[in-house]
Amino acid sequence: MSEGTIKKFLYLNRKAPYGTIYALESLEVVLIGAAFDQDVSLAFVDDGVFQLTKNQNTKGIEMKGFSLVYNALGDYGITKLYVEKESLEERGLTLDDLQDVVYEDENDDYAEKKSILLVSRAEMGQMMETQNVVLSF
């Protein structure tokens, strides 16, 4: 990748957290990748939508919880979290079951804005077509 070239990177998340290591690994790679100043989007599809549920408390299973890290992504310039509506519905969830992920828009007097973009499966598919690189987890 030549210096100065900005590519569109999509991290595709399709796994529930904690049961497998995929969700945590994805988050680690996203944070590392954030250092490269690319145009980054995250997609939450299928069981990936479970990664964003609110009030995750992992004390009882003695594992490190990482759900609050999603809300810090805005500080790394990652402000587009696409969540698929059909995936939520199939799992008995709505947007209300997810945490509020926000970022401060430096181009708008640091106004607090929502990072989560609720999209249909068709819109998700179209968004995928616009990406240069897709990393799957």
Partner 1 sequence: MILHTVNKSPFERNALVSCLGHAQAGSSVLMIEDGVYGAIAGSQVADVVNNSLATVKIYALEPDLAARGIAKEKLISGVQLIDYAGFVDLAADNTTVQAWL
CA dist 83 to 22, 37, 108, Å?
17, 23, 24
Please return the burial class of 78, using the count of CB atoms within 10 Å of its CB with bins 0-12, 13-18 and 19+. Answer: buried
x/- track of binding to partner 1 for residues 17-56 (CB under 8 A): xxxx-------------------------xx--x--xxxx
Residue 84 Cβ, how far from partner 1 at the closest point, in Å? 12
Residue 75 Cβ, how far from partner 1 at the closest point, in Å? 22
Instruction: Verify binding: residue 63, partner 1, rule CB under 8 A.
Output: yes
Of 39 and 46, nearer to partner 1 (C-beta) is 46
Instruction: Verify binding: residue 128, partner 1, rule CB under 8 A.
Output: no
CB-side neighbour CA atoms (13 Å) of 37: 6
Which is nearest to 75 in space by CA: 99, 52, 105?
105
Is 59 strand, coil or helix?
helix
**Site residues for partner 1 per CB under 8 A:** 15-20, 46-47, 50, 53-61, 63, 65, 67, 90-93, 97
